[in-house]
Structures are given as C-alpha cells and as structure tokens.
Amino acid sequence: MHFNTKAIHAGQEPDPTTGAVMTPIYQTSTYAQSSPGNHKGYEYSRTHNPTRTALQNNIAALEGGKVGLCFSSGLAATDCVIKILQPGDEVICSNDLYGGTFRIFTKIFAPLGIKFHFLPMGDLAEVKKHINVHTKLIWLETPTNPLLNIIDIKRVCDFAHKNKLLVAVDNTFATPYLQQPLALGADIVVHSATKYLGGHSDVVLGAIVVNDLSLAEKMAFIQNSCGATPGPMDCFLVLRGIKTLHIRMERHCENGKKIAFYLKNHPKIEKVWWPGFPEHPNHKVARTQMKSFGGMVSFMLKGDDIKKTIRVMERFKIFTLAESLGGVESLVCHPATMTHASIPKGEREKNGLRDTLIRLSVGIEDAQDLVEDLGQAVG
C-alpha cells in the first residue's frame, strides 16, 4: 500500500457495530467485562482506547514501524523515551534542537542523574570523544529547529549501532511523508503530532514509533503507568488531519520553496536558512533522505537590529505571530523569546541562534499572497 492510501486507510476499518466509515470517538473511560478480567481488549481508557488504537496503528504504518504509541503532547513522548534510561546513563544530542526538548533534558532529567551532551551531530569525531560505557542514546532532530540543519540519519545510525547505542529521531519537521528514519536505521521516531500530522492547529498530541517489540513493551508500560495519554477526541482530530497529510505537505513544500527563494533575493535579508538551497551545507544529504525540503524557513534581516526584527514581525497580516508550526495557516515565530526562550542566551548564540532570527512555518495559502505579506512586512 502506498503512502497516500495508508494516510487515509491504515489502522482504520469501518465500525463493526454501525459501519461508520470514520473511526468513532470512543468517549468512555471504562468498558464492560463479561467476567472479571474477561473483556474485549479494552478495560480502562488510560491503558487502551479504540480511537487511540486506530491512530497509533495509522502513525506506525506511515513511519514503516511495527508499534505506535500516542501521548498527550510531543514532550510527553520525549519524556517516555528518556524514561527508558537509568540514572548515570548519558545521552548525546544535536546542539540545535527545540527549546522544550532542551528544557526537559536539562531541567527535569539532568537533576535525576542523566547526563546530556549537546554536540554538532555532523562531526562524528567530536561525538566519538563523548562516548563511554554510560552512553546509551543519541537524540537528533533533522531538519533541526530552528536553523534547519540536516543530519545524515543513516550515517549517525551506522555509527551508533557500531557502538551499541540507540538512536531516536524527532521527525516533526519532516513528517513521515518526507522522511522515514526507521528505514534509515533509527530505533525510535518521535513526533509532536500537534504540528504537521494534526495540521490544523486545533490539537496537542505526541507519538512514538518503534520496530523493536521489547522496546515497545517498555514504552507501553511507561505510557500506561505514567498516564500521559491523549483523549479520544484529540486522537480523532489527528486521524482526521493525517488523511490530508500528503496533499498538505506537497503544498507546504511548494510554498516553502517560493518563500525561501523570495527571501534569498530580497535586498533587506542577510541570510535565509532552508535545506533546499544547493549551497546548504548538507543539501545533498537532504536530497537523499527527504522527498522534498519542507515548509519551514528561517531568515535574518540585514543589520542584526532586534528592534527592526520585532517591528517586522508585528507588521504581518497573513502570517500570524504565534508559537507552533505545521498548520494550514502560515505562522511567524521569534525563537529567542518564544519556542527557544528556555535555552540560555549564551547557549543559543553559541549554536548560531541569534536574537534576530525569524522562523516561518509556511502554510498552504496562495503563495503570492504570502510573498506580498512578506514584502510589506519587511518593507
């Protein structure tokens, strides 16, 4: 079954009771049992819910994985991954990553005895220096948030597995439509399904997909025991969103390309970050491991003037100044004060994230309207 068909049908069958084509919202906390312990596979909705089961199977199919698990947010999914580790374990992370991930690593898990190394993942010689008997996991994003660096998933996985390490890939920016990390060797794929999978800025949800059944069992135990599970309505909304993922991603990519080249040729723009440019440091890798280059674009005005940067963001009329990304509507974000504010300024700047960086989540509106909005905002 091809991806576009999986997006609409995988994990979903007409309701056996009524024949409903859409997976019902099983708005129930508990389930009748004919005898103690004798039930139809469902006993309590924190543990299992039929709407969630359909979504988990759907996302697993899209990622080419065996088991999918859904959570109340992307960070709840991240939390589950790190909870498979023990105090004293060490994690190697890409140094350009979502601020919320940095925060949960450094403020929640580091005090509990897990050590994190934030490194440029393209430099495997540097990564190797930090590997020791305590290292258990490599965590990476690609494309990264917000500098859109591209990490060679297969190369990192080959390196990691030689050193008996697990690899987790946050695939939120690319989605399984553009990139499938499990096929490139990753052990764990993580999503903030709030973003492109849901696609309509109306739900918060996270997901994990794995192939290893023992790993899946550990994570399912954490999912049930810690209880950070999504409700059936949220699962239904993401299922509905995924049905159009393929056609939305095509338009996100198409519009993203037009916006990136427009900004690149604008006289008031100093730099544009987008992996589709041939001069992007890892463009060849992106072209190999991704179907297209996505709808995320970051840029910086000439002059490195924070007041001018803020004025530009305040002038948008179609782009909405807001946190998040991946919805049908275009959003503009200031990472330094929004999505990455939890990363100390010195750490941000060391990794290239300056206070004047602007991040765009390019939606599926008419591209010309978006170009004109950018033009009037930049001036």
Residue 101's CB is within 10 A of a number of other CB atoms, namely 24
- Helices 367-378, 306-315: inter-axial angle, 10-degree rounding: 140
- For residue 357, the cross-strand partners are 300
Task: Using alpha carbons, list the distances in angstroms from residue 211 to 188, 224, 238, 259, 263.
Answer: 8, 19, 22, 37, 41
- Report how far residue 189's alpha carbon sits from residue 210's, in angstroms, rounded to the nearest whole number: 7
| Contact between residue 229 and residue 357 where contact means Cβ atoms under 8 Å apart | no
Pairing of β 206-210 and β 188-192? antiparallel
Mean pLDDT value across residues 237-254: 98
Pairing of β 188-192 and β 166-170? parallel
Architecture, CATH, for domain 246-378 = Alpha-Beta Complex (3.90)
- Give one DSSP letter per residue of 106-162, joined into a string: IIIIGGGT-EEEEE-TT-HHHHHHT--TTEEEEEEESS-TTT-----HHHHHHHHHH
| Contact between residue 320 and residue 200 where contact means Cβ atoms under 8 Å apart | no
Note the pTM of the prediction, 2 decimals. Answer: 0.96
Phi, psi of 11, deg, nearest 5: 80, 5
- Give one DSSP letter per residue of 20-86, joined into a string: -SSPP----SB---SBTTB-SS-SBTTT--HHHHHHHHHHHHHHT-SEEEEESSHHHHHHHHHTTS-
Q: Residues with Cβ < 8 Å from 338, sequence gap 6 or more? A: 323
Asked whether the predicted pLDDT for residue 80 surpasses 90, the reply is: yes
Mean pLDDT value across residues 195-222: 98
Residue range 258-311, pLDDT digits in tens: 999 999 999 999 999 999 999 999 999 999 999 999 999 999 999 989 999 999
| Residue positions annotated with a catalytic role | 46, 98, 170, 195
- Report how far residue 186's alpha carbon sits from residue 22's, in angstroms, rounded to the nearest whole number: 32
What pLDDT band is residue 123 in, cutting at 50, 70 and 90? confident
**Residue 374 DSSP SS3:** helix
Mean pLDDT value across residues 205-229: 98
pLDDT value at residue 37: 85
Residue range 333-345, pLDDT digits in tens: 999 989 898 888 8
3-state secondary structure 192-249: ECCCCCCCCCCCCCEEEEECCHHHHHHHHHHHHHHCCCCCHHHHHHHHHHHCCHHHHH
Classify 3-242 by CATH class.
Answer: alpha beta
- For residue 167, the cross-strand partners are 138
Q: Let me know the angle formed at the C-alpha of 169 by 207 and 352, rounded to the nearest 5 degrees.
A: 120
Mean pLDDT value across residues 150-160: 97
Residue range 300-347, pLDDT digits in tens: 999 989 999 999 999 999 999 999 999 999 999 999 989 898 888 888
Domain ranges within the chain, ordered by starting residue: 3-242, 246-378
- Report how far residue 201's alpha carbon sits from residue 132's, in angstroms, rounded to the nearest whole number: 42
| Amino acid sitting at position 116 | F
Check residue 184 and report its DSSP letter: G
What pLDDT band is residue 370 in, cutting at 50, 70 and 90? very high
| Amino acid sitting at position 124 | L
What pLDDT band is residue 17 in, cutting at 50, 70 and 90? confident
N- to C-terminal Cα separation, the chain: 48
Residues in the chain, total: 379
Residue 371's CB is within 10 A of a number of other CB atoms, namely 16
Asked whether the predicted pLDDT for residue 101 surpasses 90, the reply is: yes
Tokens of 22: 């859409």
* CA pseudo-torsion sign 43, 47, 49, 54: negative
pLDDT value at residue 131: 96
